[in-house]
Structure 1
Amino acid sequence: AHAPMEPLDAVIRIGADRVDFWAGSQFPTVDQQVIARIVGVPANTVRIHTLLAGGSFGRRATADGDVAGEAASIAKAIGGDRAVKLVWTREDDIQGGRYRPLYVHRLRAGLDAQGNVVAWEHRIVGQSIMRGTSFESVMVKNGVDQSSVEGAANLPYAVPTIAVELHTTDVGVPVLWWRSVGSTHTAYATETFLDELAQAAARDPIELRRALLAKHPRHLATLNLAADKAGWGQPLPAGRARGVAVHESFNSVVAQVAEVSLRPDGLPKVERVVCAVDCGTAINPDIIRAQMEGGIGYGLAGALWSEITLVRGRVQQRNFDGYRPLRIAEMPAVEVHIVPSGAAPTGVGEPGLPPLAPAVANALVHLTGQRVRRLPFARLAAAGTRTA
């Protein structure tokens, strides 16, 4: 679930000659069209007042403008020139919201005698976000939802033979893009698997990535900056380990090194995250750092705790007691380093999230000796084991 701290809400007023709508909308044009259709007025008479939102993460950007449509329907039914305020409860949001699709990955690769990666096969199975929406004609090509394979189909590593397959499932769960969309799952699959290959080839994870990124200078420079600032290769206190991941999303490259210890229950405690980002020209460095920090915190919550389970089609979680967010004491120390660039600016709102979970998993294996193949990590503690 997206579970923004500010629940879904809006205010609407249907006046004599225009409609005013106030909300922290990510899709104001869609909301305008939906309101106009429901109220029965021209779209140019619907004025959207876009407000700051207390978190969105994709939830305030639905292709059918669900909250705007509900508010418009209520105001139309009530009638009269009066303002109507709609506020979803936390239970409304978590139990009746839209969810990030469940994905399953299978990866196989070949190594030559020198430990070079010579073949890579990646099969992805999951539900399409774009199917059945107005974006399907643009985002689904030859049956492939591009948002399902992003981060895997454009793998930057120089492997001679790469095959990526998608099998789209037909499931009746309402799904939606979740902060960083397809990269939320493809980054975890590709970056943890690459560490497995490094281990099998007896190569350092950073060294292997450097060799495979020789033709991608942005990725290489970002990786090198993160590794240098994190002190990769330098000794750590007993009971700590480092893991690394690098990923491109929204045309920005982010590399992260996570420093991890073990909690008494065997779950990872993330002590420090060193993040390097190449997002082109840094227009506002403070915003870039804030977005990286926020993405790391949000991603860590998803990796450690946040999970939606359905039994006979009904969501079991209701509020933050069951759908566990990250708590302040669990937030690691974060350092953000921006790669100097004169290139066009690229995204920063979402790219800070994807490398976090694989970097943590890649560190955890050095403490436990085993790989985590299913998220969130809390599921493993509930099962009485550290690994899956």
Structure 2
Amino acid sequence: MTLTTSRRRFLQGAAASTVLLVGMRANGVMAAASETTDINPFVRIDATGRVTAIVKHFEMGQGPSTGLTTLIAEELGVTMDQIDYDFAPSNPQVYNNLLFGTFQGTGGSTAMANSFVQYRNAGAAAREMLIAAAASDWGVDESTLDIVAGQITGGGKSAPIADFVASAVSQDVPAEPRLRTPDEWRLIGKEGAVKRKDTAVKIDGSGTFAMDFHFDNQLVVMIAHAPRMGAVVKSFDDTDAKGMTGFEMAKTLPDNSGVAVFADTTWNAMQARDAIVVEWDNTNAEMRSSDTIRDELIAGVEMGEATYQTRGDQIDTANAISGAAKVIDKTFYFPLLAHAPMEPLTCTIEPIADGGVVLHDGAQFPTFGHMTLTQVLGLPMEKVQVKTVLAGGSFGRRANPTADYNLECAMAFALTDRSRPVKLVWSRDDDIRGGYYRPAFAHRVRVGLDEAGQIIGWDHRISGQSIMKGTAMEPMIVHDGVDHSSIEGVADTVYNVPGMSVGLTDHAKATSVLWWRSVGHTHTAFVMESMIDMIASETDTDPLELRLSMLPGKTPAQTRMAGVLNKLAELSNWKAGAPDGQSRGLAVHHSFGSFVAEAVDVSGGGDDAVKIEKVYCAVDCGIAVNPDVIRAQMEGGIGFGIGHVMRDQITLTDGEVDQTNFPDYEPLRISDIGAIEVAIVASADAPTGVGEPGTPPSGPALANAIARAGGPRVTMLPMIDEVEFA
């Protein structure tokens, strides 16, 4: 028998297990290889032609598992059904967030902004290598070929990409592959073209979350945490836990921050932890209550000299205001807020045969967890792996620069003989009572207006607890003593504000604090947009027209902010006003590179309970890669922001947190908002953030609507203290 075969078929058969990897080497140079090398890929194509996008940003519901696969699929030329995703391993040399420097992590709404070109380049390089292999085999010019729906076509020929995976490995990697132009896009920005990649596995339960891990012979550990910041373990008694079902042992953590209670299951660990009695040393503990903290913060924004003058000249502004025809003077207060994700904190450390460990985690900042385990366990970096899985929300909580829950798990693992997996579990009570919080802040603003109602001076004082100082992020964010996250959205406002002066005074932290969805913009947008609305009311000016007058288009940011206001006016039929029996509030803000304008329609007000009937939203986030994801993020950000300003706060009594769970820290309910409508402004600018920018304008838009409905001008949050909601 005579067997004939083409060179292509021979290569496919001889290397059936060959995989084409396109990504980066440690020196930052794009490269390609088979899976037998140490390349760190962004694109993986196996011998069957199945494509996998290696996603370096974790998925907590904000959409990078869809967005980054879309970029690869678009440039490579495959459908979304022909591509899967997997999370990248911890390797900050290759998978670092380009906007964070040397850290691998997800935050600041940077996933798409940092990856847009990088992932397109990887997909385009893979496409050109496959085409080069096909052109060589077919004897045709590469320029005549393209990949469409996973098929290489052109020159009168067609074949699946699987036929050329083996030969593509040996092709030169293009240093600057040609990126498809917008007129060629089939997926990017196309309505209805892409379904979320993480939806199906969440619906059918096949998706793996950190809480899902359970290994044979596993230990579950829960920590008895100190009830006050700064308290440490003095002693503990585990007499009542001994003999309880599943209880194994209880030990003080090496840093004395708590007691680790080990058992065979989560329930048994929780029961045993509740049975132990801990005596705490409160010598260095926080003992203040919320009323004291609020008074101290408000005192910090009185008209004395601020610690840091971050914009303008305080004396010049004061002189301008002293000659004003009218002065609007308001003080604002923002309480501590919890992140309260649906999936509480959890991770698992698994020992492996080579003496190393694997950290299984919904890892928002893999670098922090990776480094923490190496330090606590005394292992080199290469002996620690981080396996990132899905996370049930975060809002910043899983991106702690101290890697607090990874640290606890590592310390607990170190207390064992290291032969068994150890799973750390926090309850929701643990997170709400002993977690990290959006810091409390106070603002005082004095705005001077002349006889014509024009702003002639804006004195803005801020007092709060710095998030960044004392963390690994300090060199990036803190300059000349100023934590930029405390003043963002005010000192760098897009508005043209004459005579503006901004001062910041740091305040001693009463708890551990951490960034929270939209960070400083959570309070700065509320103050800026409330003040603008008060000026509009005082001068009898249309709130939208006043804002547009303060955006003269002298910068691209002003032009884009005016653009979302005009889009919102069109979407909401602004000139016609709110429906009969309703009132409308407006707010607009720039954060994380994006511009978002929102209008809230409410019924009630005055003596009647307030009902949120509808929220309108216009967003300019640059190129809209996945419109459906963008709308979902705007809706989620709006709900998150409104729910918290309505009724949430963390309070302290003698240093201990009062709230425990959702009954007294109540999240937004679906019945709280009647409807949300989102419009996306068409843009050719590079993509910017969508995970957080929907949150900042939502609170002030609601506050402005309530004031226009005859309700109080809310400046002290939460609103529930002054407003009844239906």
Q: TM-score, normalised by structure 1?
A: 0.95
- Whole-Å separation in 2 of the counterparts to 1:217 and 1:288: 21
* Alignment-derived partner of residue 452 in structure 2: 114
Residues 1:292 and 2:630 are matched in the alignment: no
Residues 1:82 and 2:420 are matched in the alignment: yes
- Secondary structure, aligned partner of 2:686: coil
- Secondary structure, aligned partner of 1:243: strand
1:224 to 566, 575, 580: 566
- Secondary structure, aligned partner of 1:276: strand
Measure how far apart 1:369 and its partner are: 4.9
Measure how far apart 1:79 and its partner are: 2.3
1:164 to 490, 494, 502: 502
Residues 1:367 and 2:704 are matched in the alignment: no
* Alignment-derived partner of residue 435 in structure 2: 97
- Secondary structure, aligned partner of 1:233: helix
* Alignment-derived partner of residue 253 in structure 1: 595
- Whole-Å separation in 2 of the counterparts to 1:227 and 1:82: 60
Cα distance change of structure 1 residues 229 and 374 upon mapping to structure 2, 3 Å threshold: same
Bigger Rg over Cα: 2
Measure how far apart 1:263 and its partner are: 7.3
Measure how far apart 1:71 and its partner are: 1.2
* Alignment-derived partner of residue 473 in structure 2: 135
- Whole-Å separation in 1 of the counterparts to 2:509 and 2:715: 22
Contact conserved, 1:282 with 1:345, CA < 8 A, in 2? yes
- Secondary structure, aligned partner of 1:49: strand
Cα distance change of structure 1 residues 235 and 194 upon mapping to structure 2, 3 Å threshold: closer
- Secondary structure, aligned partner of 2:689: coil
Residues 1:51 and 2:389 are matched in the alignment: yes
After TM superposition, the structure 1 stretch with the greater mean CA deviation from structure 2, 319-328 or 70-79, is 70-79
Measure how far apart 1:361 and its partner are: 0.6
Residue type matched to 2:440 in 1? L
- Whole-Å separation in 1 of the counterparts to 2:609 and 2:398: 32
Contact conserved, 2:436 with 2:513, CA < 8 A, in 1? yes
Contact conserved, 1:115 with 1:202, CA < 8 A, in 2? no
- Whole-Å separation in 1 of the counterparts to 2:508 and 2:424: 32
* Alignment-derived partner of residue 673 in structure 2: 331
* Alignment-derived partner of residue 74 in structure 2: none
* Alignment-derived partner of residue 407 in structure 2: 69
* Alignment-derived partner of residue 584 in structure 2: 242
- Whole-Å separation in 1 of the counterparts to 2:433 and 2:639: 23
Contact conserved, 1:243 with 1:258, CA < 8 A, in 2? yes
Over residues 207-264 of structure 1, what are the superposed CA-to-partner deviations in whole Å (9 max), with x where a residue is unaligned? 0001111221100001110121011121434431111100011111110011112379
Measure how far apart 1:353 and its partner are: 0.1
- Whole-Å separation in 2 of the counterparts to 1:99 and 1:296: 19
Over residues 53-79 of structure 1, what are the superposed CA-to-partner deviations in whole Å (9 max), with x where a residue is unaligned? 111000001111011111112222222
Residue type matched to 1:252 in 2? S
How many pairs does the alignment contain? 383
Residue type matched to 2:501 in 1? A
Measure how far apart 1:364 and its partner are: 0.6
Contact conserved, 1:13 with 1:75, CA < 8 A, in 2? no
After TM superposition, the structure 1 stretch with the greater mean CA deviation from structure 2, 77-86 or 286-295, is 77-86
Residues 1:301 and 2:301 are matched in the alignment: no
- Whole-Å separation in 1 of the counterparts to 2:392 and 2:568: 30
- Whole-Å separation in 1 of the counterparts to 2:719 and 2:610: 8
2:689 to 341, 347, 368: 347
Unaligned runs of 5+ in 2: 1-337
- Whole-Å separation in 2 of the counterparts to 1:373 and 1:268: 17
* Alignment-derived partner of residue 322 in structure 1: 664
- Secondary structure, aligned partner of 1:336: strand
- Whole-Å separation in 1 of the counterparts to 2:559 and 2:426: 46
Measure how far apart 1:266 and its partner are: 4.8
Measure how far apart 1:374 and its partner are: 0.9
Aligned residue runs from structure 1 range 204-223, under 5 A: 204-215=542-553, 216-223=558-565
2:575 to 213, 233, 239: 233
Q: TM-score, normalised by structure 2?
A: 0.51
Cα distance change of structure 1 residues 214 and 339 upon mapping to structure 2, 3 Å threshold: same
* Alignment-derived partner of residue 126 in structure 1: 464
Residues 1:174 and 2:516 are matched in the alignment: no
* Alignment-derived partner of residue 8 in structure 1: 345
- Whole-Å separation in 2 of the counterparts to 1:262 and 1:24: 42
* Alignment-derived partner of residue 111 in structure 2: none
- Secondary structure, aligned partner of 1:260: strand
- Whole-Å separation in 2 of the counterparts to 1:307 and 1:271: 24
Contact conserved, 1:267 with 1:377, CA < 8 A, in 2? no
* Alignment-derived partner of residue 321 in structure 2: none
* Alignment-derived partner of residue 149 in structure 1: 487
Measure how far apart 1:265 and its partner are: 7.9
Contact conserved, 2:605 with 2:710, CA < 8 A, in 1? no
Over residues 95-115 of structure 1, what are the superposed CA-to-partner deviations in whole Å (9 max), with x where a residue is unaligned? 000111111111111222322
Cα distance change of structure 1 residues 262 and 23 upon mapping to structure 2, 3 Å threshold: farther
- Secondary structure, aligned partner of 2:615: strand
Contact conserved, 2:467 with 2:514, CA < 8 A, in 1? yes
Contact conserved, 1:206 with 1:244, CA < 8 A, in 2? yes
Following TM superposition, the consecutive aligned residue runs of length 4 or more in structure 1 with deviations greater than 6 angstroms are none
Over residues 326-349 of structure 1, what are the superposed CA-to-partner deviations in whole Å (9 max), with x where a residue is unaligned? 112113311111111111111111
